[in-house]
Chains A and B, each alone.
Chain A
Amino acid sequence: MVLSAWCECGEVENAMSELYELGIEGAAEGLAKGEFSSVELTQAVIDRVKAENPRIGAYLTFDEDGALAAAKAADEVRSGASPHQAPGTKHQALLGVPIAVKDLINVKGQPCTCASKILKGYVSPYDATVIKNLKAAGAVCAGRVNMDEFAMGSSTENSALGRTVNPYDVTRVPGGSSGGSAAAVGGNMCIAALGTDTGGSIRQPASFCNCVGLKPSYGRVSRFGVTAFASSLDQVGPMTKSVTDAALLLQALAGHDEMDGTTPDEPVPDYAAALEGASLKGVKIGLPKEYFIDGLDPEVKRLTDAAVARCSAAGAELVEVSLPHTDYAMAVYYIVAPAEASANLARFDGVRYGHRSTRSDDVFNLYARSRAEGFGPEVKRRIIMGTYVLSSGYYDAYYGRALKVRTLIRRDFEEAFAKVDALLTPVAPTPAFKIGEVQDPLTMYLNDLFTIPSSLAGNCAISVPVGFTADAHLPVGVQFIGDAYREDKLLRVAKAFEDAS
């Protein structure tokens, strides 16, 4: 429990914040001490969602009965188990804790719409591996949060099923594509959330909504049961209220999965243990000069500089580094990601699941019209773009060439991480922008300028809150990028940074 600064009486009742404000660490502590039950915690979240969701629109659906049943089951597990015999206390952290799930991750018996009309009414027949893991840890996964359709977008305005606004300013976007996850965490409508990140979709909304957002290294977390957007880039990751919470949630998500051949059978470190005694003393932090550009919003620039100063004051050694192929990353991404998306989204053809057009008299029209009626404009644009760069006569010039430039981008990071422990950069060029402000697709893509390169390289990266803009009081985060499969080291840096505030 957080004790209030003005009261020294120490009475828990006076000091107690609302249960829904808790993060994983605080919730786990209160549950372990018996201060409240999971049913009480879950009910507090449900009440909060009922009160706030009409205004914020973070959730698309919430299975209230399912949530309370899972919470009751968690309470029974807890009451029956001796804390001394609890296997792996790290997993106990999620027992009975409500986690919001981005609406492209399959949870058996729940809808999974990807915020698309094409999947309206779809009910998942199985659990994604990350959900299996969370359920095994006793987490309560009952609420499904909004997103840009098929995770394509940076504002959640591309959702076909609902509007989500920023809890810090309801006239602004929550970011995207994991905008519902960020709004639910930032608006205290969950204890923590799952997002997915292909080119920045966890980190940018985390920055916009004052959350911690971790994109794990490619392959660290299983993608089985997660609707595919760009298979060589997609990762599931935690969106939380603190760095410690991100470590606790990642612990349950990470690891080899025989259902996803891109997850290596490498040991998963104890991430919470890695945070103990976290310090920036002597830590080498690289500042990539290509990321500190003229186009940066002045307030984002000021807060990024403040983050650099905070690291320096905490004893970090700051080093200028160069990632010379940064300027090509966005172009590579907008070839590779749509190419993979166009192939992945071919499965939505109106045959086995999803929307089927009633205007179809033959199979060609069944495909073309079901897809026309089901997909929104951004998804259509990316399917067309992806089909184009993969088509005969263009493949080598676009897709083939992009894969090679991707190698150069990856090498930039490898060279940088030979010299530094982590990189510090802005998350996005601006704070949360106004709803409807960005209309041109290419301008919207620029949101991912600083998050795309590390996605292409397969590194892990985290967005951590740094402060608020002066006039509009909008939250802004800073990005730390870590070497691949060194989430332990990255989280340690992020934790020390968070503690230094």
Chain B
Amino acid sequence: MTIIRTFFLSRSFAPRGADLCYNCGMDKPAIDVAYVAELARLELTDEEKAVFQPQLENIVKYVEKISSVDISDVPPTMHGRAIVNALREDEVRPSLDRETALANAPARTGDEFMLPKIVEGAES
């Protein structure tokens, strides 16, 4: 059986350092930059990690000021202006043709985008 590596599910989405609770009053925010960057599929150099870690701790600490706002019975605002059910007719329409869609491809093979092998055990 072919095993498909699901890249966005193969690692837990829960950042490490979660022992530091957001509401518990501890000073140091629980962001582990190196780990979150991995979740975001972003390779960081050691230098970047060293620079970003305190910067993002600062930013996280700043945004925590919203924890003191009373939000009981307040609905969320998802958009600047809420529109419900923006619908259109479900009809076939022209879209970008294949050549146009492939024109910016960093690598292609024939009529397709080319990628390293994703599926384990399959013929590439």
Contact = CB atoms under 8 A, between A and B. Distances in A.
Interface of A: 122-123, 125-126, 217-219, 232-233, 235, 258, 261-262, 264, 325, 327-328, 330-332, 334-335, 342, 346, 349-356, 360-369, 371-372, 375, 377, 380-381, 383-389, 391-394, 397-398, 400-408, 410, 440-442, 445, 455-458, 484
Contacts of B60: 385, 388
A350 B105 CA distance: 8
B83 A368 contact: no
Given A384-B56, A403-B77, 14 more contacts: A217-B80, A258-B88, A262-B81, A328-B69, A331-B62, A335-B63, A346-B41, A353-B106, A363-B7, A368-B38, A384-B37, A385-B56, A404-B77, A406-B77
B28 to A, nearest CB: 14
A404 B74 contact: yes
Contacts of A327: 65
A371 B41 contact: yes
Interface string B1-26: 00001010000111100100011000
A383 B42 contact: yes
Nearest to B102: A352
Contacts, number: 205
A377 B33 CA distance: 13
Nearest to A365: B43
Contacts of A386: 40
Nearest to B8: A346
Given A125-B100, A331-B62, A401-B71, A391 B15 contact: yes
A457 B80 contact: yes
Given A232-B78, A232-B79, A402-B66, A384 B103 contact: no
Contacts of A401: 66-67, 69, 71
Contacts of B86: 261-262
Contact of B59 (A264, A391, A441, A456): A441
Nearest to A360: B116
Contacts of A398: 22, 63
A387 B39 contact: yes
Contacts of A383: 37, 40, 42
A350 to B, nearest CB: 6
Contact of B106 (A126, A354, A393, A407): A354
B48 A380 contact: yes
Contact of B18 (A351, A360, A393, A458): A393
A352 B7 contact: no
A403 B78 contact: yes
